[in-house]
């Protein structure tokens, strides 16, 4: 049987050095290939012009540059958000979303920012009840090449250089820990994709052991935690992970992370009308800063498709604009940590995580 070629996208510097040596070249050839693949993002081995023609031929016999296939690309007429649906080699599908800065005045964002939200798994085992990906079940982890491939392909379609990466697409990043961290090493390397780790955010629903591992390994990427409520009963109802690690345990892990890394944690708070929008919620959120230095992102809920027989079908309601603004203003007045209002980008193109892939497989 013919041996399939190795995809160069996804290999790190050491793996490329080892590859070069195994093909009879010096290790520094691996560094050159690394730069061509990630920094220059060439689409073929023939474009690697500082590598001899003879070695390029050898490389071509054993390897290739295999991009992710774009199955669908949608551009939002409302805000310029671009959503990509990628088809993987085994036919499964994942999404990434390219998010320009918002021009809504109350959403303070750096106007030069161009953020790509990437996936780490096909489906997701975490089963958060408000999430379209959660309804799909779990298929598999993405490889490093599939994670990085999303960035390389999105960059080809981007109006300018992607400045920020958020691991908030399909899947729970900390359940694919090694591949996610290896991908961050390639993204953050100046000779690689070259996006500073300070502009890379890993978002988790709260796998506390892995949060602590990130801290112990002094990972430079920023940590975001999907909190959504400080009420254990409600959190357990909408996020099954809370049964395993309750809010106290989660906040302990966040404090551990702060102590080890001195990096402020971002708490994400999807705002649902009638669910986590009361005075009691404001009161408990105010106490957060006494527990861990943090920042709070308020994200108005996007309506999602939930199957007709879902018991949660009527639980999640998108809030009105005024309700969100009042909530944010009160928090800003009463809390001594930054409170940001984040946009719900790409509403007209199913911008929330998993929505496009769910629709495609329905």
Catalytic residues: 95, 353
User: Does 127 participate in binding ligand SF4 (rule CB under 6 A)?
Assistant: yes
Nearest to ligand SF4 of 7, 119 (CB atom): 119
Local structure of 172: helix, strand or coil:
coil
Among 95, 146, 172, 281, binds ligand SF4 (CB under 6 A): 172
Element (H, E) at 291: helix 288-291
280: number of CA atoms within 13 Å, CB side? 7
Nearest approach in angstroms of CB 113 to ligand SF4 is 22
Nearest approach in angstroms of CB 288 to ligand SF4 is 20
User: Does 124 participate in binding ligand SF4 (rule CB under 6 A)?
Assistant: yes
**Which residues lie across from 72 on neighbouring strands?**
85
**Which residues lie across from 296 on neighbouring strands?**
267, 339
Nearest to ligand SF4 of 16, 124 (CB atom): 124
For ligand SF4, the binding residues in 339-358 under the rule CB under 6 A are: 353
Over the window 129 to 168, marking each residue x when it contacts ligand SF4 by CB under 6 A and - when it does not, the resulting string is --x-xx----------------------------------
CA angle (300, 305, 307) in 5-degree steps? 135
Local structure of 187: helix, strand or coil:
helix
Among 128, 214, 299, 339, binds ligand SF4 (CB under 6 A): 128
Nearest to ligand SF4 of 317, 321 (CB atom): 317
**Which residues lie across from 295 on neighbouring strands?**
266
Report in angstroms the alpha-carbon separations of 78 from 41, 233, 291, 299, 349.
Answer: 30, 37, 39, 18, 9
The residue range among 127-135, 212-220, 308-316, 328-336 that interacts with ligand SF4, by the rule CB under 6 A, is: 127-135
Nearest approach in angstroms of CB 270 to ligand SF4 is 9
- The closest of 346, 352, 271 to 99, measured between CA atoms, is 346
Nearest approach in angstroms of CB 29 to ligand SF4 is 39
Nearest approach in angstroms of CB 8 to ligand SF4 is 29
- The closest of 313, 315, 341 to 327, measured between CA atoms, is 341
User: Does 205 participate in binding ligand SF4 (rule CB under 6 A)?
Assistant: yes
Report in angstroms the alpha-carbon separations of 332 from 148, 190, 261, 320.
Answer: 37, 37, 26, 19
User: Does 211 participate in binding ligand SF4 (rule CB under 6 A)?
Assistant: no
Nearest to ligand SF4 of 170, 251 (CB atom): 170
For ligand SF4, the binding residues in 215-274 under the rule CB under 6 A are: none
Report in angstroms the alpha-carbon separations of 61 from 7, 16, 209.
Answer: 12, 15, 43
What strands lie across the sheet with 265-271, from one edge to the other?
A: 69-75, 82-87, 93-99, 115-117, 164-167, 200-204, 222-226, 265-271, 294-300, 339-341
Among 30, 100, 149, 171, binds ligand SF4 (CB under 6 A): 171
Nearest to ligand SF4 of 155, 236 (CB atom): 236
| Residues near ligand SF4 (CB under 6 A), total | 12
Give the single-character DSSP code of 40. S
Nearest approach in angstroms of CB 171 to ligand SF4 is 6
User: Does 98 participate in binding ligand SF4 (rule CB under 6 A)?
Assistant: no
Distance of alpha carbon 189 from alpha carbon 349, whole angstroms:
33
Residues found near ligand SF4 in the complex (CB under 6 A): 124, 126-128, 131, 133-134, 170-172, 205, 353
């Amino acid at each position: 049987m013919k041996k399939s070629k190795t995809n160069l996208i996804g290999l790190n510097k050491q793996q490329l050095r080892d590859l070069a040596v195994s093909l009879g070249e010096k290790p520094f050839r691996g560094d050159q290939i690394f730069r061509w693949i990630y920094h220059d993002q060439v689409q073929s081995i023939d474009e690697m012009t500082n590598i001899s023609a003879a070695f390029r031929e050898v490389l071509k016999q054993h390897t290739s540059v295999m991009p992710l296939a774009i199955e669908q690309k949608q551009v939002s007429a409302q805000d310029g958000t671009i959503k990509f649906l990628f088809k993987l080699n085994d036919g499964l599908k994942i999404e990434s979303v390219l998010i320009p800065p918002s021009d809504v005045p109350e959403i303070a964002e750096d106007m030069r920012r161009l953020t790509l939200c990437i996936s780490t798994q096909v489906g997701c085992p975490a089963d958060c009840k408000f999430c379209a990906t959660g309804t799909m079940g779990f298929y598999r982890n993405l490889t490093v090449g599939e994670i990085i491939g999303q960035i390389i392909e999105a960059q080809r379609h981007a109006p300018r250089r992607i400045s920020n990466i958020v691991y908030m697409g399909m899947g729970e990043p900390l359940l694919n820990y090694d591949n996610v961290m290896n991908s961050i090493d390639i993204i953050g390397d100046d000779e690689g994709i070259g996006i500073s780790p300070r502009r890379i955010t890993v978002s988790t629903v709260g796998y506390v052991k892995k949060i602590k591992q990130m801290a112990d390994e002094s990972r430079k990427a920023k940590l975001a935690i999907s909190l959504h409520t400080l009420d254990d009963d409600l959190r357990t109802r909408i996020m099954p992970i809370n049964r395993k690690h309750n809010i106290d345990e989660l906040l302990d892990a966040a404090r551990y992370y702060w102590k080890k890394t001195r990096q402020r944690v971002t708490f994400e708070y999807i705002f649902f009308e009638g669910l986590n929008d009361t005075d009691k919620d404001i009161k408990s959120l105010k106490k957060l800063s006494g527990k861990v230095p943090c920042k709070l992102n308020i994200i108005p809920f996007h309506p999602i498709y939930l199957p007709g027989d879902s018991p949660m079908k009527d639980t999640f309601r998108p809030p009105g604009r005024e309700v969100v603004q009042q909530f944010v203003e009160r928090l800003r007045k009463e809390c001594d940590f930054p409170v940001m209002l984040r946009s719900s980008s790409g509403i007209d193109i199913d911008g929330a995580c998993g929505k496009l892939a769910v629709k495609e497989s329905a």
